[in-house]
Amino acid sequence: MASILIVEDEQRIASFVSKGLRAEGHVTTVADNGVDGLDHAMSGAHDLVILDIGLPGLDGFAVLDQMRSQGSRVPVIVLTARDSVTDTVSALEGGADDYMPKPFRFAELLARVKLRLRQVDEAEPGSKDALEVGDVRLDLRSRRATVHGRAIDLSAREFTLLEIFMLNPGQVLSREQMLDHVWGYDFDPGSNVVDVYVGYLRRKVGSETITTVRGMGYRFSS
Ligand code: CA
């Protein structure tokens, strides 16, 4: 159970997200403007913030900026417009941990919420900013990846998939685990989306880093 703050002025979205998270056993607080949102976010009472960008009072970028400059390290998932790449990039550069393009299915948001909460649990005091396995380095704040010190371009899905691998180095991950964590909803079990994305990642981080374990899944190692 976690305490989750939802800063969203569209009542319909706020209520659908809040109801869904409560049904998952979490406690939610809703703020419908940026000023109240920032107050709540800085109270230290929340484990995670879901933050809309277009807000009255103070927009989501300003809220995020104030939070980070005042030292808050609470994970933030921003809600962005699907067609605004600029917003997404600015939010991630401004210290957001993840983003969810609108409109979204609740299951998609829930997958990101679970992932962020799990990382908070796993993080040591001081919290992890980067993951490093062999020559692959993942900066979780700027969401940039490097291989042998060279930056590589990853899509959001590729990044999340690589993140799951790097959080579990040397362990075999099943296709179901990857589907659940990266896509967050039930794909047709016959879907080859995981294999396709593993293929993309192999091309970008080096084919030798991801081993196929027949009948079981994939293993990431340096
Ligand atoms: Ca809005």
- Give the ranges where the chain is alpha helix by DSSP (H): 11-23, 34-41, 60-69, 85-93, 106-122, 156-167, 175-178, 193-205
Residues 161 and 185 grouped into a single domain = yes
**Ligand 1 centroid distance, CA of 105 (Å):** 17
Higher local confidence (pLDDT), 32 or 90: 32
Of 66, 99, 123, which marks where a domain is finished? 123
Residues 6+ apart with CB under 8 A from 170: 219, 220, 221
Judged against a pLDDT cut of 90, whether residue 192 lies above it is answered with no
**Ligand 1 centroid distance, CA of 124 (Å):** 34
Of 77, 106, 123, which marks where a domain is finished? 123
Residues 117 and 8 grouped into a single domain = yes
**Ligand 1 centroid distance, CA of 178 (Å):** 31
Residues 7 and 103 grouped into a single domain = yes
**Ligand 1 centroid distance, CA of 59 (Å):** 9
**Ligand 1 centroid distance, CA of 162 (Å):** 31
**Ligand 1 centroid distance, CA of 32 (Å):** 9
- Separation CA 29–CA 51 (nearest Å): 12
Residues 64 and 142 grouped into a single domain = no
- Separation CA 183–CA 168 (nearest Å): 18
Residues 100 and 54 grouped into a single domain = yes
**Ligand 1 centroid distance, CA of 182 (Å):** 25
Q: Are 113 and 4 in contact (CB under 8 A)?
A: yes
Of 99, 123, 147, which marks where a domain is finished? 123
Q: Residue 125: its pLDDT value, please?
A: 47
Residues 161 and 67 grouped into a single domain = no
**Ligand 1 centroid distance, CA of 86 (Å):** 16
Residues 79 and 189 grouped into a single domain = no
**Ligand 1 centroid distance, CA of 81 (Å):** 10
pTM for the model stands at: 0.57
How far is C-alpha 29 from the geometric centre of its chain's CA atoms? 20
Strand partners of residue 99: 78
Residues 134 and 77 grouped into a single domain = no
Q: Residue 121: its pLDDT value, please?
A: 67
Domain CATH number, residue 165: 1.10.10.10
Judged against a pLDDT cut of 50, whether residue 49 lies above it is answered with yes
Residues 45 and 111 grouped into a single domain = yes
* Domain span at 136: 130-220
Summarize the confidence of residues 134-154 as an average pLDDT: 90
Domain count, the chain: 2
For residue 75, whether the previous peptide bond is cis, meaning omega lies within 30 degrees of 0, is no
Residues 181 and 203 grouped into a single domain = yes
